[in-house]
């Protein structure tokens, strides 16, 4: 059972602000999908290791040598707002 408060809480964790009319449909959608996923509950997975990744890869390192990356200008080229070579954002502290 997913309540409107649950949906609001998940939305806030996701940094999404829902309109009232979105709330009801999303609550029902999430409830239906989670209900379907419930079927995993009947499966016993004790002793099974989780698979986070399909290949048996360990940490992959490159040689510790200087490489060319994007220039400051290229990295900032798509910025919505910029100032003095930085990305500019609204006030963080009230």
Partner 1 sequence: MKLNELTAHELLAHLKNKKTTPQEIYASVKGKIQQVDNRIHAYARYSHNGPLNQDSLAKPGAYPIPIAIKDNICIKDNETTCCSHILEKFKPPYDATVIQRLKAAGVPILGNTNMDEFAFGSSTENSYFGPTRNPWDTSRVPGGSSGGSAAAVAAHEAIWALGSDTGGSIRQPASFCGVVGLKPTYGRVSRYGLIAFASSLDQIGPITKDVTDCAILLNIIAGHDPMDSTSANIPLPDYTKSLMNNARGLKIGIPKEYFIEGLNAEVKQAIMAAVDTLKRCGASFQEVSLPHTEYAVSTYYIVATAEASSNLARYDGVQYGLRAYPQTSRKTALVDMYEETRSTGFGREAKRRIMLGTYSLSAGYYDAYYLKGLKVRTLIKQDFENVFQTCDAIITPTAPTTAFKIGEKINDPLSMYLSDIYTISANLGGLPAISVPCGFSKEGLPIGLQIMTKPFDEAMLFRIAYTFEQNSQHTKRKVELS
Binding site for partner 1 (CB under 8 A): 7, 10-11, 13-19, 22, 26, 29-30, 32-34, 36-37, 39-41, 43, 45, 48-55, 57, 60, 62, 70, 74-75, 77-81, 87, 89-94
The residue among 5, 55, 59 whose CA lies nearest residue 30 is 5
3-state secondary structure at position 23? helix
| Least distance (Å) between residue 85 CB and partner 1 | 13
d(CA 79, CA 68): 21
3-state secondary structure at position 52? coil
| Least distance (Å) between residue 78 CB and partner 1 | 4
| Least distance (Å) between residue 11 CB and partner 1 | 6
Q: Residue written as tokens 């399909």? A: 54
């Amino acid at each position: 059972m997913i309540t409107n408060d649950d949906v609001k809480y998940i939305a806030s964790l996701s940094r999404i602000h829902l309109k009232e009319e979105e709330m009801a449909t999303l609550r029902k959608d999430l409830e239906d999908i989670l209900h379907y996923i419930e079927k995993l509950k009947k499966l016993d997975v004790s002793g099974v290791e989780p698979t986070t990744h399909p290949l048996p890869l360990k940490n992959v390192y490159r040689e510790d040598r200087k490489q060319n990356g994007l220039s400051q200008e290229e990295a900032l080229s798509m910025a919505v707002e910029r100032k003095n070579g930085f990305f500019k954002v609204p006030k963080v502290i009230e």
